[in-house]
Structure 1
Amino acid sequence: MQTTRYQSINTALEVTEIDPLVEKSLVRKLDTRLLPFLSLMYLFSSLDRSSLGNAVLDNFEEDVHITPDQFNTCVTIFYVGFLTFQIPSNILVKRFSAKIWLPLLMVLWGTVATLHATASSYGQLITLRFFLGLFESGFFPGVIYYLTLFYKKSEMATRIALFWGSSVAAHAFAGVLAFGILQLRGRGSLAGWQWLFLIEGIPTILLAFVAWWYLPRSPDQWMFLTSEERLVSLQRLDKDNHMTLGDLDANNKKQAYMALSDWKVWMWMVMFFCGSVPNTSVSNFLPSIVKGMGYSDKLSANLMSAPPYVCAVVVMIAFAYSSDRLGDRAFHAVGGAGLCLLGYILLLAAPSIAYGGVCIAVSGIFIINPIVNAWLTNNIAPDMKKSVATAMAVMANNSAGLVGSNIYRASDAPRYRFGHLVNVVFLCMFILLTLAQRYLLSRANRQKKQKQTEMTEDQQDELVGDQALDYMYRL
């Protein structure tokens, strides 16, 4: 390895090769001091996003003077804001640095979340939900980019799964937290849902200021690392470049077009959409679904919405580990969707064990996106094509919220059969598309092997990225 000198570090040390013990110590510090803090920030994002679903069980609609249909519209408008600002935020995070941009987004969405406590009309609420989606939209992709400044590509999948898990845990925590907070109704002349928005929103703003101080701009500027660890942190990423949409220029526009014209990417987009409709619908309406199972006490409905998410965390980690260990994506994604499908069938056909069906359905829901995301990124190259393809998949994922936020209608309570049936249809479509994608990729691999015997080496060298004949698609 070539000698590398980093002028940004105030030291004369040069590192000629990476000491595995130093690298191990570095990664351990990242895993115990950086990743958990970012996960905590994302937990607050998920709390602020899902609090409306818990607030509705505390006479929220009556206090704000909105109808059930208007409530569904307010849930939907969040995803409109989310889609509007996601790509611009992806560009700005690299221009201003994640150290500044992520805490800034957190202050903005925390302020909007807190202001939900002042809502008194449909117009006010729909405006607040739009801006909440707008400011939260850039956080997840911003963190993913930020992690690439610290972790190698070969380390990213596990860290994204752990980071993603904080969102699932937040849903479980939200139910328990709401159970306690909503009992404050009447204190200080405030409704329980007003206390909920205040207690979940204000700490978000405070944590943002801690994040601005705590988060480093880059590894070589982090106070927790020794001089040698700082050098190693940069050297081990020296040839491990990551691109974002902020790197799009005249030289790599062809790669971006390759993503837009690739059938595989569009197939994954449809898969993301189908798999995310159940995810977004349950995330917003699980307390109401649980309430319809006989938990007429509104506080109990919030509390009983927590166990399904606890199950989901355990099952998701187990599936992710198995997927990485066995090197399989398609069948694990189908397994998650199948588990979710079983849960919905129990909800429709066996009301006596409906709560068990919820636990099974939610456990399967959160398996789908992480595995499909890993499947996509494993099969798209070069980097700019991968960046654009990932952005397209994220947009498809978030677009599903426009559907998922409208399928659980108040008129369908208490069993919500229509919403369950819609999710069954999308899950069946997801399973069929996943199996089709696996077959098509397997066929493409066979065609590549056949072409290798027919094309000259010069012709093969003209093929780049995932079109190269020695680039076999992962299944």
Structure 2
Amino acid sequence: MKSDIPIQMVEDAQPSTDNTISNAELADEAQAGKVEVAPPEHDPAVVRRFLWKCDIRLIPCLGIMYLLNSLDRANLGNAKTDGLEKDLGLVGNQYNQILTYYYIPYVLCGPGMAIITRLITAKYSLTGMMVFFGSFSIATAFAKNFGQLLAFRLFIGVFESGFLASVVIYMSGFWTRADIASRIGLFFASNVIASAFGGLLAYGTFQINATRLHGWSYLFIIEGSLTVFFAIVMCLYIPRRLTSAHFLTAEEKAAGVARQLSDSVDEVDGKFSWSQALIELKSWHTYVRILICFSISVPLASNNNFLAPMVARLGYGTAKTNLYTVAPALTAAVFLVAWCFSSDRFRERGLHLCAALLVTTIGYVVLITIDVDNLAASYVALFLTTVGAYPVSPLFSSWCVSNLPNMNSRAFTIGLLIPMGNLSGFLVSNIFINAEAPRYITALRVNLAFAVLAIVLCFSYGMWMRYENRRRDRISGRITTLDNHGHGQEYITDGVLTAKDPRFRFMA
């Protein structure tokens, strides 16, 4: 780190009779973690242009990619409402088995796919994954029995396994931890919109009167074909990384790199290192994050895979059931984006997670306690469970990214956490018992229990981070620098390999 950059502000530091400090003294104190150096100066107008260009060029592209990924992952639930089980001769819990087995390759292959992304960049890994899982989605349309359907879903699981983690890693290379939650929120909104769009698309597709293929077969063909087409388009458009973004000027790239070094990562475009990638396995934080990720994923997985069957408790037919999933999903998308922007505005993650989970908890309490014939209350409760479930994933992803300054350990850890969270799919696939339809009382109780557990974990973890930040302040003094927007930040990441570094401050 250069030692001739001036200190902008130092709180709780020892008073000095001299207003200057030598380069050698600055270097010594910066190395000891006692002081903070200011980030390189950049014209705020350049920073605003950088953010605006990244927002309008990348988020829509990534959003479309994730929307298509979500459709290919969740369309089985829509197909179920159109008689997929009967048409393929599924018996007993074979449908639940297909959902369960899908998560085996999804969980096992996730970390490896994230590492591949770190090696070849998301430009090629993401679009490659889309081509493969889109192709197998098309193949699903021609499944004739349980075995064929299972085989296609297993391959889809392999190539979808690292998709979400790869996108989060890619985004963290453009936006800093101070502004990434809102961007991940916008990106995740496409998943929620996919639920709504998926319902509308299913509603329209199921109106096709054809005898050669089943109605649900056309759903897989349409969605899979869209995925393959957009994969090719995106491969030609999205940049490999910030420093090679074709839509940024040299000045904007320099501003983006400086922001990353002062507010997000230890180095930009660094080489891959296995020792750095695996370093977080030695930290207790990883295992706490796994518990939180699993807990928050149970309500989300329930909504992704069983929203349509849950809406079926209202007693409507196939078409209306899919149509009635649209309103909760769209409402959840609006709440998700607003809540993520609030999280960035207040530079806070844990309490925002708790608040969203509380909404979900209330929804499940209502569903458990009311009579199944109370349609109005049931629909409102489904709104609450959906609205509260969707913001937790982007908030948790940004929480983890915000506290992992090394890109190699970030890639492996996010690649590990997201599949670990998707282990919840094994549970969710087996708690929605057909014999309990349409109320699914076992599923409701399990979802409620994990929502409460997640609240306890997020609150406790966030409070510990606040305590640890204060402890580090007492030891080395509270160091504040000003970023390019004039906002205070209490740490640096340039050269900070792990959160153990005394210069690092957690974003709680």
Structure-2-length-normalised TM-score: 0.80
Question: What is the rounded CA distance, in whole Å, between the counterparts of 1:189 and 1:72 in structure 2?
Answer: 27
Deviation at 1:436, TM superposition (A): 2.5
Equivalent residue number for residue 201 of structure 1: 224
Going from structure 1 to structure 2, the CA distance change for 1:146 and 1:304 (only over 3 Å counts) comes to same
SS of residue in 2 equivalent to 1:357: helix
Q: Which residue of 2 aligns with 1:393?
A: 417
Change in CA separation of 1:411 and 1:156 when aligned onto 2, cut-off 3 Å: same
Q: CA RMSD in A?
A: 2.9
**What whole-Å deviation, never above 9, does each CA across 1:234-276 have from its counterpart, x for those lacking one?**
67657755689982234x36xx33x223223312211111111
The whole-number CA distance in structure 2 between the counterparts of 1:206 and 1:150 is 26
1:324 counterpart = 2:349: no
Instruction: Provide, for residues 117-176 of structure 1, a one-character-per-residue CA deviation record: whole Å limited to 9, x for no partner.
Output: 011111111111111111112222222333345444544332222111111111111111
* Alignment correspondent of 2:117: 93
**Residue aligning to 1:147:** 171
Distance 1:182 1:164 in 2: 27
Following superposition of structure 1 onto structure 2, how do residues 40-189 of structure 1 map, counting pairs within 5 Å?
40-184=64-208, 186-187=209-210, 189=212
Q: Tell me the secondary structure at the aligned position of residue 278 of structure 1.
A: helix
Partner of residue 33, structure 1: 57
Aligned to 2:26: none
- Alpha-carbon deviations, 1:387-437, whole Å to 9, x = none? 444333223211111112221111110111111011011112112222332
Tell me if structure 2 keeps the 8 A contact 1:112–1:128. Answer: yes
1:248 aligns with 273
- Aligned partner of 1:260 in structure 2 is 281
- Per the TM alignment, residue 18 of structure 1 is displaced from its structure 2 partner at its CA by 4.7
**Matching of residues 338-417 of structure 1 within 5 Å:** 338-351=358-371, 352=374, 353-417=377-441
Asked if 1:213 is matched to 2:236, the reply is: yes
Q: Distance in 1 between matches of 2:223 and 2:234?
A: 17
C-alpha distance 261-241 of structure 1, shift in aligned 2 (>3 A) = closer
Contact persistence 1:293–1:415 (CA under 8 A): no
Higher mean C-alpha deviation, range 359-368 or range 24-33: 24-33
The one-letter code matched in structure 2 to 1:338 is L
1:467 is matched with which residue? 500
- Aligned residues of 2:121 and 2:241 also touching (Cα < 8 A): no
| Residues 27 and 294 of structure 1, relative CA distance in 2, 3 Å threshold | same
User: Closer, same or farther in 2 for the Cα pair 1:246/1:44, shift >3 Å?
Assistant: farther
Of 262, 273, 280, 2:301 maps to 280
Structure 1 residues 333 and 100, CA, compared in 2 at 3 Å: closer, same or farther?
closer
* Secondary structure class of the residue paired with 2:348: coil
1:271 aligns with 2:296: no
CA 1:226–1:391: 2 relative to 1, 3 Å: closer
CA distance in 2, matches of 1:433, 1:232: 37
In structure 2, the partner of 1:334 is: 354
Of 359-368 and 264-273, the range deviating more from structure 2: 264-273
What is the aligned counterpart of 2:322 among 295, 302, 305? 302
In terms of fraction of residues, the more helix-rich structure is 1
1:474 CA drift (Å): 3.4
* CA distance, structure 2, for counterparts of residue 29 and residue 363 of structure 1: 30
Is the contact between residue 100 and residue 212 of structure 1 (CA under 8 Å) also seen in structure 2? Answer: yes
CA deviations 1:270-310 (Å, max 9, x no partner) are: 11111111111221011111112211x11110110111111
Question: Cα 1:448–1:84, aligned 2, differ >3 Å: closer, same or farther?
Answer: same
| Paired position in structure 2 for 1:438 | 462
Q: Is the 8 A contact 2:260 2:268 kept in 1?
A: no
Give the unaligned 5+ runs of structure 2: 3-39, 478-495
Q: Which has the higher contact order (CA 8 A, sep 6+)?
A: 2
What one-letter code is carried by the residue in structure 2 that aligns with 1:212?
C
With 286-295 and 94-103 compared, the bigger mean Cα shift is at 94-103
Say if 1:213 and 1:308 are closer, same or farther in 2 by CA, change over 3 A.
same
Distance 1:207 1:72, change over 3 A: same
118-127 vs 149-158, greater mean Cα deviation: 149-158
Q: Pick closer, same or farther for the CA change 1:110–1:428 going to 2, 3 Å.
A: same
Q: Secondary structure at the match of 1:190?
A: coil
Structure 1 stretches of 5 or more lacking a match?
3-15, 454-462
Gap change, CA 1:209 and 1:180, over 3 Å in 2: same
Aligned-partner Cα distance in 2 for 1:218–1:385 = 18
CA-CA distance at 1:200 after TM superposition: 1.0
Tell whether the 8 Å contact from 1:82 to 1:133 is kept in structure 2 after alignment: yes
The alpha-carbon distance between structure 1 residues 436 and 115, as it changes in their structure 2 partners (threshold 3 A), is same
Separation (CA, whole Å) in 2 of partners of 1:153 and 1:222:
20
Instruction: Measure the CA separation in 2 of the matches of 1:218 and 1:471.
Output: 25
Alignment partners' CA distance in 2, 1:464 and 1:282: 37
Residues 276 and 397, structure 1, Cα contact 8 Å, conserved in 2: yes
Q: Mark the CA change 1:190 to 1:133 in structure 2 (over 3 Å): closer, same or farther.
A: same
